[in-house]
């Protein structure tokens, strides 16, 4: 059965409009409660949200739906998506619910459900929940928001866990920290100060509407300027729900998820902690990761395995192989020793741990990574016909692949959360990369009725 509510990252939409209206949010809670009871699991759920102004009432509706089935809930208040995943798998909970739309603007929101092991729900479970959600809506059960009282202890449990992963304190380091006016705003500053760092704060004053607004991991210019003008040792930027992190080196160089994976893979390899189930050192990345990362890892004797885009697919391959490190260029990095999902604050701690233990700057740690020119073009589309059926698009892709040979790649895919086709072209020089990317994007606009 095809899912119509759940996308690649839960249920997403404009807050207040279906499927993110009060009635549907309540029906989601009701369906989840019904499923929990049917599984014979502990009738208790942990709920959190990011800083969007719609988060409170959406969380209250989900909680109200749970209460219809006498399923208890604990409300963490503003927290991170990986924080909810950690609490769900380590606390006495059968599931976790995060109200967030990650890097999207404040008008959007989402409902992400995490199971008691800290993982996203399986497809078949989401299909079952969808059937129950539509059933509840058909019965017009309506809205019944619950009263929410924040349990501040929950965030502290998560922060204590993160702090415990660090081997050396950060005294003497100055960090420019951009929390995207999102989930990390209340958690990251006290965590890094607790570990001894001096902080220069950006994007740490959420007002319900400014999440991701000109700040965070999608807007690094201001953070970069601060690092350069202040002489900070590095800059760290999170996204709205803090499940990813990007960095700015002291030189102003942007350090993305590919570079982070190289830095951390090398360290884990030295420690003998990078091997998969068969004893082979391996890193799981996606089709978007740069060829430069693959070559740098290979030079260290480390295999890189590619998956489709999405931390879901990275995690699936990690679990299948027993791999310990995987991630995406966008900054989602999974350290399976500590977490079941990408965690921006954990990623920052791992990078800082390598810096302090090696005595090297982030610039030095990433200096040997040769990045091939890569261009990503987003094309807004009105329809999603299978890309393989678009002859003119496929012809342009083939032309680019033949020109690049083994020195470049083309990846064209639809976004899992937005009405976009994403065209990624990578090659030996920026001029040819831009030329082929523009040609492919133009054909997509023609074929798919771009707005």
Closest by Cα among 318, 291, 297 to 307: 318
Dist CA 170 CA 211 (whole Å): 28
pLDDT at 59: 99
Spatial neighbors of 310 by CB under 8 A, at least 6 apart, are: 8, 286, 328, 416
> Percentage of residues in the chain with pLDDT exceeding 90?
88
Q: What is the 3-state composition of the chain as percent helix, strand, coil, each rounded to the nearest 5?
A: 40, 20, 40
The CATH homologous superfamily to which domain 11-155 belongs is Alpha-D-Glucose-1,6-Bisphosphate, subunit A, domain 3 (3.40.120.10)
Give yes or no for residue 449 having a pLDDT over 90.
no
pLDDT at 307: 95
Q: 158-252: which CATH topology? A: Alpha-D-Glucose-1,6-Bisphosphate; Chain A, domain 3 (3.40.120)
Dist CA 42 CA 362 (whole Å): 44
Spatial neighbors of 181 by CB under 8 A, at least 6 apart, are: 51, 203, 204, 205, 206, 207, 210, 211, 212, 213, 215, 216
Q: Which tokens sit at 211?
A: 């999440």
Q: What is the mean pLDDT of residues 53-57?
A: 98
Q: Which tokens sit at 426?
A: 């990578």
Number of H helices, E strands in the chain: 14, 17
Spatial neighbors of 207 by CB under 8 A, at least 6 apart, are: 181
pLDDT at 139: 84
How confident is the model over 25-48, as pLDDT tens digits? Answer: 999 999 999 999 999 988 999 999
Instruction: Using DSSP bridges, classify how beta strands 234-238 and 174-178 pair: parallel, antiparallel or unpaired.
Output: parallel
Burial of 330 from C-beta contacts in 10 A (0-12 / 13-18 / 19+): buried
> pLDDT: is 450 or 249 the higher one?
249
Dist CA 49 CA 417 (whole Å): 19
Domain ranges for the chain = 11-155, 158-252, 255-343, 374-448
102 annotated active-site: yes
How confident is the model over 339-364, as pLDDT tens digits? Answer: 999 999 999 999 999 999 999 999 99
**Chain centroid to CA 325: how far?**
15
pLDDT at 2: 59
> Percentage of residues in the chain with pLDDT exceeding 70?
99
How confident is the model over 363-418, as pLDDT tens digits? Answer: 999 999 999 999 999 999 998 999 999 999 999 999 999 999 888 899 999 987 78
Q: Which tokens sit at 144?
A: 């019944």
The CATH homologous superfamily to which domain 374-448 belongs is Alpha-D-phosphohexomutase, C-terminal domain (3.30.310.50)
How confident is the model over 253-284, as pLDDT tens digits? Answer: 999 999 999 999 999 999 999 999 999 999 99
How confident is the model over 96-121, as pLDDT tens digits? Answer: 999 999 999 999 999 999 999 999 99
pLDDT at 450: 62
Q: 255-343: which CATH topology? A: Alpha-D-Glucose-1,6-Bisphosphate; Chain A, domain 3 (3.40.120)
Dist CA 242 CA 342 (whole Å): 9
Check whether the bond before 239 is cis (ω within 30° of 0).
Answer: no
> Of the residues 54, 102, 185, 330, which is catalytic?
102
Asked whether the domain spanning 158-252 has the same topology as the one spanning 11-155, the reply is: yes
């Amino acid at each position: 059965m095809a899912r119509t509510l759940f996308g690649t990252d839960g249920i997403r939409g404009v807050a207040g409009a279906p499927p993110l209206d009060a009635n549907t949010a309540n029906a989601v809670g009701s369906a989840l409660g019904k499923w929990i009871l049917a599984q014979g699991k502990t009738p208790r759920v942990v709920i959190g949200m990011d800083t969007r102004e719609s988060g409170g009432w959406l969380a209250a509706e989900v909680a109200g739906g749970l209460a219809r089935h006498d399923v208890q809930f604990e409300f963490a208040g503003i927290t991170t998506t990986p924080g909810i995943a950690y609490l769900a798998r380590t606390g006495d909970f059968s599931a976790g619910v995060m109200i967030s739309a990650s890097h999207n603007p404040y008008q959007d929101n989402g409902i992400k459900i995490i199971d008691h092991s800290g993982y996203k729900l399986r497809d078949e479970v989401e299909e079952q929940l969808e059937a129950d959600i539509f059933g509840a809506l058909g019965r017009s059960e309506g809205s019944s928001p619950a009263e929410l009282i924040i349990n501040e202890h929950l965030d502290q449990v998560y922060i204590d866990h993160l702090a415990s992963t660090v081997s050396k304190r950060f005294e003497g380091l100055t960090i420019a920290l951009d929390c995207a006016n999102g989930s990390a705003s209340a958690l990251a500053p006290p965590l890094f100060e607790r570990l001894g760092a001096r902080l220069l704060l950006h994007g740490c004053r959420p007002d319900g509407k400014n999440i991701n607004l000109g700040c965070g991991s999608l807007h690094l210019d201001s953070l970069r300027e601060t690092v350069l003008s202040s002489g900070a040792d590095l800059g760290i930027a999170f996204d709205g729900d803090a499940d990813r992190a990007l960095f700015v080196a002291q030189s102003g160089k942007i350090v993305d998820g590919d570079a982070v994976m190289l830095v951390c893979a090398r360290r884990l390899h030295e420690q003998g902690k990078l091997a998969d189930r068969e004893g082979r050192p391996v890193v799981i990345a996606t089709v978007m990761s740069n060829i430069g990362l693959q070559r740098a890892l290979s030079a260290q004797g480390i295999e890189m395995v590619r998956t489709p885009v999405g931390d879901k697919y990275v995690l699936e391959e990690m679990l299948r192989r027993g791999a310990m490190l995987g991630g995406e260029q966008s900054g989602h990095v999974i350290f399976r020793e500590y977490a079941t999902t990408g965690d921006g604050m954990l990623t920052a701690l791992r990078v800082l741990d390598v810096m302090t233990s090696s005595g090297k700057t982030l610039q030095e740690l990433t200096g040997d990574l040769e990045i091939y020119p890569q261009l990503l073009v987003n094309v807004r589309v009105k329809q999603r016909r299978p890309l393989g059926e678009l002859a003119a698009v496929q012809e342009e892709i083939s032309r680019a692949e033949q020109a690049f040979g083994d020195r470049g790649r083309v990846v064209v895919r639809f976004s899992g959360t937005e009405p976009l086709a994403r065209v990624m072209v990578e090659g030996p020089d920026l001029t040819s990369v831009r030329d082929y990317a523009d040609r492919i994007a133009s054909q997509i606009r023609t074929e798919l009725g771009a707005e």
